[in-house]
Chain A
Amino acid sequence: MIPVTYYLILSAVLFLIGTTGVLIRRNAIIVLMGIELMLNGANLSFVAFAREFGMADGHIYVFLVITVAAAEVAIGLALVILLFRNRGTVNIDEVRSLRW
């Protein structure tokens, strides 16, 4: 059997890579994908703990997280399309003003 610690380390590494992606990329779509990667890292530790304790509740949390991720992506991509329509760019460095 694989110790649960291995899964937790892997999930932390995925979360770290997602954070780095959010911080270093300037394409708004890739930033959203970095957030997806972070959510996946969190999901992995939910499932690992569900297996560890023999309770399926962790699976329900993953289910709900995936629902929230779908809603977030729908709204986020709608905002990206709006941004592109109004500014002609999705580079978040160029979207600095707080007024439109």
Chain B
Amino acid sequence: MELYFFLFFAFVAVASSVAMILQRNPIYCVLLLIMVMISIAGLYLMLDAQFVAIIQIVVYAGAIMVLFLFVIMLLNLSREEGGMFRIQKPTAVILAVLLFLPVAAMVMSYPGGGTAPPVEGSQAGFGEVEQIGTLLFTKYLLPVEIAAVLLLIAIVGAVVLTRKGTVATGE
């Protein structure tokens, strides 16, 4: 039963992402990427990562993809025009597959490969908010602070870049 769920989510994720990179209309691209995000959130739930599944949907599908939608609508983009040099697509696919081969070899040589993961219930509350929060505010306090500063830099950077009358805009 679990295998069917895995296959379903994996199929939806792969099919949507392939459709995403082939889709010409940017709006449909965003919607397909949201499908990918939601099926990956389903996989997270199967891996006992409830908190990560929720932030995947809230932050990724909810906030980041809406930002993409806003920008696409703001710029009023329609279909992509042609004109790429002819061998770009086959070259890209070949390069990506070449990149995939060593990764696949490494995964296949993983010693735990093919065996079942450890039994459920060895740790009560695994992946729940309490455990994640405890880790975030004890062991990973410094990375969290750095991430907060990074977000602040991103906010200030985005405002400075898009403000009119700065050097960057040339006005």
Contact = CB atoms under 8 A, between A and B. Distances in A.
Nearest to A59: B52
Interface in A41-67: 43-44, 47-48, 50-54, 56-57, 59-60, 62-64, 66-67
B59 A66 contact: yes
A94 B113 CA distance: 46
Contacts, number: 236
A74 B157 contact: yes
B99 A4 contact: no
Nearest to A73: B64
A59 B84 contact: no
B2 A2 contact: yes
Contact of B47 (A50, A64, A79): A50
Interface residues of A, number: 72
Contacts of A34: 21
A77 B29 CA distance: 16
A51 B92 contact: no
B158 A75 contact: yes
Interface in B101-116: 103-104, 107-108, 110, 112-116
Instruction: From A13, A30, A53, A70, name the one whose CB has the most chain B CB atoms within 10 angstroms.
Output: A30
23 contacts: A5-B108, A12-B104, A17-B21, A19-B95, A19-B99, A20-B21, A20-B93, A21-B21, A23-B88, A27-B80, A51-B47, A52-B112, A52-B118, A56-B132, A59-B52, A63-B55, A63-B132, A71-B150, A73-B68, A81-B74, A86-B169, A90-B75, A93-B84
Interface of A: 1-10, 12-21, 23-27, 29-30, 32-34, 36-37, 40, 43-44, 47-48, 50-54, 56-57, 59-60, 62-64, 66-75, 77-82, 84-86, 90-91, 93, 100
Top 8 nearest A-B pairs (CB, nearest first) are A23-B92, A21-B21, A71-B154, A1-B116, A5-B113, A78-B161, A78-B158, A51-B47
